[in-house]
Amino acid sequence: MRFVFRRLGFFLLTLWVALTLNFVLPRLMPGNPALSIIGKFRGGISPQAVKVLEEQFGIATHQNLLVQYFDYLRNVATFKFGASLTTQPGVSVGRIVLDAIPWTLGLVGVTTILAFILGTGIGILAGWWRGGRLDSIMPPIFVIMTVIPYFWIGLVLILIFGVKLHVLPYFFSYNFSLTPGLNAAFIGNVAEHAILPAFTLLITTIGVWILTMRNTMITTLAEDYVRMARAKGLPSHRIMLDYAARNAILPNLTGFAMSLGFVVGGAILIEEVFNYQGVGYLLLQAVNNTDYPLMQALFLLITVAVLFAILLSDIATAILDPRTRGAG
């Protein structure tokens, strides 16, 4: 139980740091970014948006920093993120973000889980079947796979399947001539548009899972309890799964949490390359439009999502590893 409290405390701390970064960063930059926006869009921003902007960036400097800070925190706590400045002027940031979330959840969420499961499975087998040609050539191949920039492989795939072969679509998440609805045609179209981006994300992220699982598997196979399992005459598949893999996967689960950072980065780039209107695409749009309220809200959202995923992997670890329960 204490373990859970400590983790929650850590999450809150991280959230607080993210919020503070959001607050502090623009004020540290040379020249106040908000001023440049307001100057640029003279008259083009609604008064409420200006007010929020002023609060967020401390333009109304007759208030001291600390008061601004608490105002900001209060706003966030009541979900007042302001309105988008330039992407969809006047529309509340919350609404814009909510529209984008399902697309990212679908694409990135599902693909990441798939990559983790497949990657871990392949890694288990790779660690189990050491020796032979497979073991020599596979690791370098996967090592190289892990260094391919997400966006580049997406572009190459677009070149091959989209431009040259005209087999798969690569623009947006569905064909705009269709009206969204829960019908087979629309869903089919969505699925078709998701193939290339999902495949890109899959092949770029799966390498890490395979390699780390293989490595921990090899280390685990040297443990005494695996030798003991052999001594007991247990069948191979049981040793591989119950004794080796179940222990080998534990450090990878915690590593999953840390790799999320890269998954997020990858998601952003892939959405950009495929113009897939998810959260990442939105972030980059916001950057291009210097839509700071939207940018900051998205940063917070991504942070919360990452924390949530870490929480899930912590729960999974607690379930799989009896040593973390009770004793804490």
Residue ranges in 9-38 that form contacts with other proteins under rule CB under 8 A: 10, 13-14, 17-18, 21, 25-26, 29, 33
CB 251 within 8 A of CB 213: no
Nearest CB to other proteins, comparing residues 45 and 268: 268
- Assess 290 for contact with other proteins (CB under 8 A): yes
Q: Retrieve residue 93's tokens.
A: 């940031």
CA distance 159 to 180: 28
How many amino acids of this chain bind other proteins (CB under 8 A)? 98
φ, ψ at 321 (rounded to 5°): -115, 105
Long-range contacts at 317-324 (CB < 8 A, ≥ 24 apart): 317/250, 317/253, 317/254, 318/3, 320/246, 320/249, 320/250, 320/253, 321/250, 324/3
SS3 223: coil
CA distance 294 to 82: 8
Residues 306-325 that bind other proteins (CB under 8 A): 306-307, 310, 314, 317, 320-323
Cα angle, residue 25 at apex, residues 21 and 31 outer, rounded to 5°: 165
Residues 181-200 that bind other proteins (CB under 8 A): none
Nearest CB to other proteins, comparing residues 190 and 290: 290
- Assess 272 for contact with other proteins (CB under 8 A): yes
φ, ψ at 92 (rounded to 5°): -65, 140
Among 63, 75, 146, 277, binds other proteins (CB under 8 A): 146
- Assess 156 for contact with other proteins (CB under 8 A): yes
- Assess 287 for contact with other proteins (CB under 8 A): yes
Among 75, 175, 215, 277, binds other proteins (CB under 8 A): 215
Among 76, 269, 282, 297, binds other proteins (CB under 8 A): 269
Nearest CB to other proteins, comparing residues 83 and 268: 268
- Assess 57 for contact with other proteins (CB under 8 A): no
Residues 228-267 that bind other proteins (CB under 8 A): 228-236, 238, 242-243, 246-247, 250-252, 254-255, 257-262, 264-266
Q: Smallest distance from the beta carbon of 277 to other proteins, in angstroms?
A: 16
Contact string (CB under 8 A) for other proteins, positions 124-143, x = contact:
------xxxx-xx--xx--x
Long-range contacts at 45-51 (CB < 8 A, ≥ 24 apart): 45/85, 45/89, 46/83, 46/89, 46/90, 48/82, 48/83, 49/82, 49/83, 49/84, 49/85, 49/89, 49/90, 49/293
